[in-house]
Chains A and B, each alone.
Chain A
Amino acid sequence: MTVSYDNSKIIFDGIKAAGIRSISALPETWLGPLLQRAEDDPDVRLLQVAKEEEAIGIAAGAYFAGTPHILLMQNHGFLAAINGIVSLAQLYRVPLCMLIAVRGHWGEPYPWHTRGGIVTEPVLRALEIPFEYARDPQKVAKQIREAWTFSQSSLSPVALLLTRDLMED
Chain B
Amino acid sequence: MERAECLQIIYPELEDKLVVTIMGACAQELYNLGHRENFFYLQHAMGLASSIGFGLATHLPNERVVVLDGDGSVLMNLGTFATLARYRPRNLIHVIFDNGSLLSTGGFESQTFSGVTDLDAIARGAGIRHVAHAVTTLDFGEAFLAAIERQDLSVIVAKVSAVGPDHYGMDLPLGENAFRFRRWIQGRARAGGTA
Interface residues of A (CB under 8 A from B): 22, 45, 47-51, 53-67, 69, 83-84, 86-88, 91-94
Contacts and interface: CB of A to CB of B under 8 A. Distances in A.
Interface in B99-115: none
Interface residues of B, number: 38
Contacts of A56: 45, 48, 51
Given A64-B40, A92-B177, A57 B49 contact: yes
List 4 tightest A-B contacts by C-beta distance, closest first: A61-B55, A57-B51, A50-B79, A57-B48
Interface in B43-62: 43-45, 47-60
Q: Name A's interface SS.
A: helix
* Most chain A CB atoms below 10 A, which of B52, B58, B181: B52
A88 B42 contact: yes
B92 to A, nearest CB: 10
Given A54-B51, A57-B48, A87-B45, A65 B60 contact: yes
A91 B44 contact: yes
Given A54-B83, A87-B44, A88-B42, A60 B55 contact: yes
B35 interface: no
A60 B48 CA distance: 10
Contacts of B177: 92
A84 B182 contact: no
Given A50-B79, A50-B82, A63 B182 contact: yes
A116 to B, nearest CB: 20
A65 B42 contact: no
Contacts of A60: 48, 51-52, 55
Contacts of B117: none
B25 to A, nearest CB: 18
A66 B55 contact: no
A69 B49 CA distance: 18
Interface in B146-195: 174-175, 177-179, 181-182, 185-186, 189, 195
B136 interface: no
Given A61-B55, A65-B56, A50 B83 contact: yes
Nearest to B175: A93
A104 B30 CA distance: 46
